[in-house]
Chain A
């Protein structure tokens, strides 16, 4: 998988393997995302942030993810998957 991605760019999904202290992999599927900001506002370590146009969330700090599973359990559109790394 590619390592990065802006959701508003050519590609519409992002897979970011964490670099240091990885606890989970954050996977987003922007086609289903409606940009409600719930994941961005509640993410405790602020892994996610809205893009420049405030339309869609982007994964800005994947290495900070603690695998708390808030975003994937609270995403109303089931557009986020958190995969715990061993």
Chain B
């Protein structure tokens, strides 16, 4: 593989059939990428995070938002590298604090569509507090949580979403801690739009992301991905394509789950895909500006 890539890189501009500058013009998705960044991406070969990036770009494109209207905020981790490649307003912040920075941004610029992109460890371990409190306040932020069950970038330590019994470099005999159900947590904490899909169901992910971004309140999208280089290797789950296939086989839509008997529902171990809540609630920046108007003696 290396040889081929080296060969391709050693080509002079114009020698290849498609120079990079022209490649960006080929589709609407590619046009939203940041052209001066080094491609290909840093992610491992076959990583699902790239699929989520494509879905996010298509969702923004579908809504017809201008690049300047959207702000992407990310912390640290594999997932948090995502905004680096996209041509929107971006903030690359400290570990776990994506939502904290997004809160400040949203309060300063309530007109902007703020999207916080986090990994599972970023959102629920290091930034767990920010996550529940942003949901409680109902800030107008879209939280995109890419769940790959492990800390990929730092070498495969178990994270708050590693399945019970799953092996990680810090849990060589299997994880003994039950995982966080991200969507249930978000619903309980007060998020107004919560949905889950997987990277295999990329078009479904597009749809949920577009809906979440168009909603006013705090919305959470859990994109179930995989880490085949650490989690997959330690648990003998095969290649990226095998793990992608297992997302297809081990997930069930909410509508199909509803048709099952109570016993079958209780025994379900598959990933449930679907929209779990979609109820509007007063949005924080709106409530805050109303407060300012009231206290300053203006009309409400």
Contact = CB atoms under 8 A, between A and B. Distances in A.
Contacts of B244: 38, 42, 74
Contacts of A72: 27
Which of the four size classes fits the interface of chain A? 35 or more
Interface residues of B, number: 43
Given A76-B49, A77-B50, A36 B11 contact: no
B17 A75 contact: no
Given A29-B23, A75-B54, A11 B47 contact: no
A32 B39 contact: yes
A81 B17 contact: no
Interface in B45-84: 45-51, 53-55, 58
Interface in A3-31: 5, 7-8, 10-15, 27, 29-31
Contacts of B107: none
Interface in B198-233: 199-200, 202-203
A15 B47 CA distance: 25
Contacts of B1: 34-35, 53, 55-56
Nearest to A82: B27
Contacts of B48: 76
B240 A74 contact: no
Given A34-B46, A38-B241, 16 more contacts: A12-B7, A13-B23, A14-B17, A29-B18, A34-B1, A36-B45, A36-B46, A36-B239, A36-B241, A38-B244, A41-B245, A42-B241, A74-B200, A74-B244, A76-B51, A78-B54
Closest 6 CB pairs of A and B: A36-B46, A76-B50, A34-B45, A12-B8, A13-B18, A41-B241
